Amino acid sequence: MLELTAVRAGYGTFQALFDVSLDVRAGEAVGVIGPNGAGKTTLMRVISGLIRPTAGALTMEGVDLLATPPHRIVELGIAHVPESRRLFPRMTVEDNLRMGGFMLAARPKFRQRLDVVYELFPRLRERRRQLAGSMSGGEQQMCAIGRALMSEPKLLLLDEPSAGLAPIVVDQLFELLRRIRAGGVTVLIVEQNVQQVLRVVERAYVLKAGSIRAAGSAAELSDSATIREAYLGV
């Protein structure tokens, strides 16, 4: 479904990704784990078009992402839940969800998608007239995921969804991710919460200092010494 080949990217003279190659197959859940500053967020931003890579190739179902204008990447079925949620804080929950369904193809299905999202997150239905910025961190994360689901994506990119949430909310979040996956959405998730994420994904990549250091099934990585080394950053 998604394929990255030898992708390089950075900010100005700072290079954050060095020849990163990875693939995500339809129906899978794939994790990218690694310490702070490993380039995980940069990787997500490159896929959704927020940053253009300096070298390498990216395709989504065979379509060249580099030949697609950044604002049209969502039309290919890629929805990105960014780091620290980035809701529109002074707009209502429902207006935030409306923005998630902005693309022309999603507009006729607005009510239908709204029902899907509200069924998944009943709390959002209760708060639909509330300003997004006035909600708790967990509720905001639900709203951010709901916003991404409004475009009926094939691939959901999740960047540190558990960051800043209370442990009990994190458990709920990962339970919800299982339900989203059961709905047929492919997931690529970046996390620092390694133990939790390895229970949700089938495979994972270990990213450190901008390059892939290891890859394997969730079970393999759970037992591996490499990942402990990479994650603890020693």
Partner 1 sequence: MGVFDIYLLETLINGVLLGGVLALLSLGLNLVFGVIDVVWICYAELIMLGMYAMYFLASVYRVPLPVAVPACIAAVAVLGLLLHVVVIAPLLGAAPINQLLATGGVLFFLQSAATIMFGIEFKNLGLRLPVLKAAGMFISYSRLLAFAAALVGMIAVYLFLNRTYTGTAIRAIAQDRQMMTLMGVDSRRIYVITSALGGGLAGLASCLLVLQYDVHPFVGLSFGPITFLICVLGGLGNFGGGFVAAFVFAEIISLGGLYLDLEWGYVFAFAFFIAMMFVRPQGLLARRS
Residue ranges that bind partner 1, judged by CB under 8 A: 48-50, 69-72, 74-75, 79-80, 82, 86, 88-91, 95, 98-100, 102-103, 107, 151
Q: Are 140 and 12 in contact (CB under 8 A)?
A: no
State which residue, 70 or 233, has the beta carbon closest to partner 1.
Answer: 70
| CA gap 96, 138 in Å, rounded | 16
The least distance separating partner 1 from the CB of residue 198, rounded to whole angstroms, comes to 27
Q: Are 204 and 32 in contact (CB under 8 A)?
A: yes
The least distance separating partner 1 from the CB of residue 181, rounded to whole angstroms, comes to 21
Instruction: Give the other-Cβ count within 10 Å of 72's Cβ.
Output: 11
State which residue, 52 or 199, has the beta carbon closest to partner 1.
Answer: 52
Closest CA to 2 of 60, 75, 80: 60
State which residue, 78 or 173, has the beta carbon closest to partner 1.
Answer: 78
Q: 168: Cβ–Cβ under 8 A, 6 or more apart, which residues?
A: none
The least distance separating partner 1 from the CB of residue 157, rounded to whole angstroms, comes to 9
Closest CA to 124 of 152, 92, 99: 92
State which residue, 72 or 178, has the beta carbon closest to partner 1.
Answer: 72
State which residue, 148 or 204, has the beta carbon closest to partner 1.
Answer: 148
Q: Are 201 and 30 in contact (CB under 8 A)?
A: yes
The least distance separating partner 1 from the CB of residue 101, rounded to whole angstroms, comes to 9
> For the sheet containing 78-81, what is the strand order?
78-81, 155-159, 186-191, 29-33, 203-208, 211-217
The least distance separating partner 1 from the CB of residue 89, rounded to whole angstroms, comes to 6
The least distance separating partner 1 from the CB of residue 122, rounded to whole angstroms, comes to 24
State which residue, 80 or 154, has the beta carbon closest to partner 1.
Answer: 80
Q: Are 137 and 169 in contact (CB under 8 A)?
A: yes
